[in-house]
Each structure stands twice: as structure tokens, then as C-alpha cells.
Amino acid sequence: MLRPIIKSLAGIAVALAGVSSFAQDWPAKPIRIIVPFAAGGPADVYARFVAVRLQETLGQPVVVDDRPGAGSIIGTDAAAKSAPDGYTLLMMSNTQTVNETLIPNRPYQLMRDFVPVAPVNYSDLVLVVHPSVGASSVADLVKLAKANPGKLNYASSGPGTPYHMAGELFKAMAGVDIVHIPYKGSSGARTDVLGGQVQMMFDAVTTMSQHARAGQVRALGTTGRTRSSVLPDVPTIAEAGVPGYETVIWLGIMAPKGTPPAIVGRLNAEIAKIQSRADVRQEWAAQGALPMVMTPEAFGRYLNDDIVKWERIVKISGAKADQ
């Protein structure tokens, strides 16, 4: 009876030795970061930011592969189906944790088909309106929306994205009826709000604050618990008329399930080094972004908690994937 057990244990030992050797030799070729969102948005921008600095320390090219579409499903599924060898990573956001509830018929499950690597950063969103909209405050906007149900439109980068869910949360908490106009990416949504084709949008402060300062849009409120350092004169939505309102956009990196733990640990450590650099913290702070530093295990717990949080909000708001 002992012989088969010994043979099995020997086989496991050989396999583990092979994994260990593979991890020690990694990386031996370029690494790809799949971004399931359109170019020009926060996920794309910070994926490229991290990629440049990772390739300096890893000694291999780190390339960004934008795969937008279907509310991030297309790119996320491509990453899930990639080999778990440390050469394909996924740049994700709270879009993915929302989609666990919002889009039940996905070809993947986040916590089943991926392993957490590291969070990257988080930032507030800002509620902006085109200057043609007759509202100079959140209270004005709520009053206008209640007087004209279904007449105001808000743009987003697609169903399930933080921009969409910020709008749905606002609708539920402010008691207003505004219409969601989904786009294939934040760049298209932003362009149409700036051009006045859509009246309003919740957008990341990292990308919209410059347009607000230039007067191209009117910033009514930010979505964090406290005022944003890049728009200090703009009140939070909670203090401007919707008590308790709070949401952010965060970014993180995952890898296909089965990626060797040694590689996951190495990536986590390298990303933490990037986040700890004074020049990085200063640059991100100027953009309104703050680093999130966690171990893979802590990030996994954070993801599970975020899935539960958004499940509750999706049900309360009544949000649908086709809205």
C-alpha cells in the first residue's frame, strides 16, 4: 500500500520542483497586461504607468493590450482563458466586482478564474454637467431632475463601470429619474459630455478635473468621503445635498488561476515598490489618485467584500446591464 503513495508523493515533489524552477526563471519573455477598457481611461493610463516601471525592474518588456467591449467582459474573458504562466495579467477595477451581480451570465467568475495580485490605486469621481445645463449645484440638479423626470441623460463608459454605478447610486439616493447613456469607453462618453450631446457624467477626477478647471464642464460634486485635493473648492455630493453618498473608482491587477504563487508574490512586491516611490506618490496625488497597498491575500479579501457591497447596491438601485 505504501508503494503507490510514495510514488505519488515523489511525483508531486518533482512537479513542485518544476514550478519552483519556472518561477525562478521568470520572466524570460515579454509580459502582457490586458486592459478590458478603452484607451485613454484611468485603467489604460495607469496600466501603462505601471508597465513602464515594471519593465525597468523585471528586465523584460511589459506591454498593454487594450481589449474593450461588453462592459469589460471581452477583455476579462480573454485574460481568464490565458495560460497561467505569469505572462498575462489583467488590469481590473470595481467594474469586475459589480459585474459579478449585474451580469450573471458571464463566461468566467472573478474569484474562481483569477488570483489576486495587487491593488494599484483609487480616486474619487466627479459629477459634472455641460455648461448649458441650468444647475450650478447638486441641489439645483436634483430639483431640475425631479421637475423633468426622464429628460436628463448621463453618460458612462458602459454597464457595470464605476461611472454607471455612481449614476445609479445617485438616482436611488437622490430619488431622481435620469437616463443612462452607455458608451464603449470613458473617452467617448467624456467627449460627448464636453460637446454637449449628453448633459452630465460621473467621471474620474484623474481625467475630468482638467476640463472642469478649464470651464468646459461645471463640477457639482465629488464622490469621496472628503473633498478631493485636486478640486478642493468642489463639495462632496454628500455635503452638497445627498447625505451618505460615497463611491470611488479603484484599480488592481489579477492573474489567471493557477499562476505560480512565487510569481504572484514577486509581482506584488514589485508593484508595492512602485507605489512606495516618492515621485510616484507625488504624481498620483497631483492627479487625485492614492495608492492601495495590500498583500495578495488581503486584496482577495477586499475583492470578496467589494462583490458583496455591489451586490447590495445593484439590488437597491435596480440597475440592469442593458440600461
- Walk me through the domains of the chain, giving residue ranges and CATH numbers: 2-122+251-317 (3.40.190.150), 124-222 (3.40.190.10)
pLDDT single digits (tens) 149-208: 999 999 998 889 999 999 999 999 999 999 999 998 889 999 999 999 999 999 999 999
pLDDT single digits (tens) 64-81: 999 998 889 999 999 999
Q: Is the pLDDT of residue 58 over 70?
A: yes
The mean per-residue pLDDT over the stretch 267-279 comes to: 98
Q: Is the pLDDT of residue 5 over 90?
A: no
Give the burial class of 55: count Cβ atoms within 10 A of its Cβ; 0-12 exposed, 13-18 middle, 19 or more buried.
middle
- CA distance to 3, 160, 207, 238, per residue, from 145 (Å): 76, 23, 26, 17
- Pairing status of strand 248-256 against strand 218-222: unpaired
145 vs 12, higher pLDDT = 145
The mean per-residue pLDDT over the stretch 215-242 comes to: 96
Tell me what pLDDT residue 70 has: 87
d(CA 50, CA 252): 11
pLDDT single digits (tens) 43-52: 999 999 999 9
Tell me what pLDDT residue 99 has: 95
The mean per-residue pLDDT over the stretch 13-42 comes to: 78
Number of other CB atoms surrounding residue 27 within 10 Å: 19
Tell me what pLDDT residue 313 has: 87
- The overall average pLDDT reported for the chain is 92
Three-state DSSP class for 254? strand
Tell me what pLDDT residue 88 has: 98
Q: Give 32's strand partners.
A: 63, 88
Residue 142's contacts (CB-CB under 8 Å, 6 or more residues apart) are: 174, 175, 176, 241, 242
The mean per-residue pLDDT over the stretch 286-309 comes to: 97
The mean per-residue pLDDT over the stretch 19-26 comes to: 68
Q: How confident is the model at residue 16 (pLDDT cuts 50, 70, 90)?
A: very low
Over pLDDT 90: what percentage of the chain? 85
Q: Give 124's strand partners.
A: 248
Tell me what pLDDT residue 321 has: 78
The mean per-residue pLDDT over the stretch 85-114 comes to: 96
Question: Are 221 and 124 in contact, with CB atoms under 8 Å apart?
Answer: no
Q: What is the DSSP string of 11-58?
A: HHHHHHHHHHHHHHH--SS-EEEEE-S-TTSHHHHHHHHHHHHHHHHH
Give the burial class of 58: count Cβ atoms within 10 A of its Cβ; 0-12 exposed, 13-18 middle, 19 or more buried.
middle
d(CA 316, CA 268): 35
Tell me the residue type at 197: Q
The mean per-residue pLDDT over the stretch 133-153 comes to: 97
Q: How confident is the model at residue 13 (pLDDT cuts 50, 70, 90)?
A: very low
